[in-house]
Amino acid sequence: MAEFRVYIAVSRDGFIADAKGSVDWLEPFGSEECDYGYTNFIANISTLIMGRATFDQVLSFGQWPYADHRNIVLTHDTNAHTDIKGVTFSKAPIQDIADSLHNQDGDVWIMGGGDVTRQFMDAGLVDTMEIFTMPVTLETGIALFTDDAWQGHFTMVAENTYDDGVVHTTYQTQNAATDT
């Protein structure tokens, strides 16, 4: 049974992107020496779900890095299409998408952005959250959690601090705890 996972970096003050939607502030943390567990994480992922802005941003980085995965891009644009292998656009309700993926082999990465992540959280569809708190303050931007954020229950199951000050915290949500 697939687990629905959030794996996301956030600034010390709770932002996943700056005010312009950029994640350039993460560049100092990318290195071959430390991938923050990404290699192990992505090895267990079969499907990525993201919003259109996240898709466009990842696409702007160059070659599509997730061609070996199924990618679902949530959009309201009924004419959206792409020739990128493994990428489909959907305007289906997230519950329908989740139901169609629940029994697949491999996990589902709710990649973002903030709105998509919150929609899955609000619907009770997130099993695990891995949050990487970066030692950076942005002061403004796109928040992971908003004032009307999901009021679900998290249980912290692990925490690790890296030498560069990044804190990796893993939470299970209430629905994950009841599934086990």
Domain residue limits, the chain = 36-106, 121-180
- The CATH number corresponding to 36-106 among 3.90.550.10, 3.40.430.10, 1.20.1250.20, 3.30.420.10 equals 3.40.430.10
Taking only the tens place, the pLDDT of each residue in 141-163 is 999 887 665 566 789 999 999 99
| Both tokens assigned to 3 | 């687990």
The pair phi, psi for residue 16, each rounded to 5°, is -100, -10
Q: Which residue in 76, 80, 67 sits closest to 116, CA to CA?
A: 76
Coil, helix or strand at residue 25: helix
Helices 94-101, 114-122: axis angle to 10 degrees equals 80
Work out the average pLDDT over 64-79.
Answer: 92
Residue 180: which pLDDT band, with cuts at 50, 70 and 90?
A: very low
Q: What percentage of the chain carries pLDDT values higher than 70? A: 93
pTM: 0.90
Mean pLDDT of the chain, nearest integer: 90
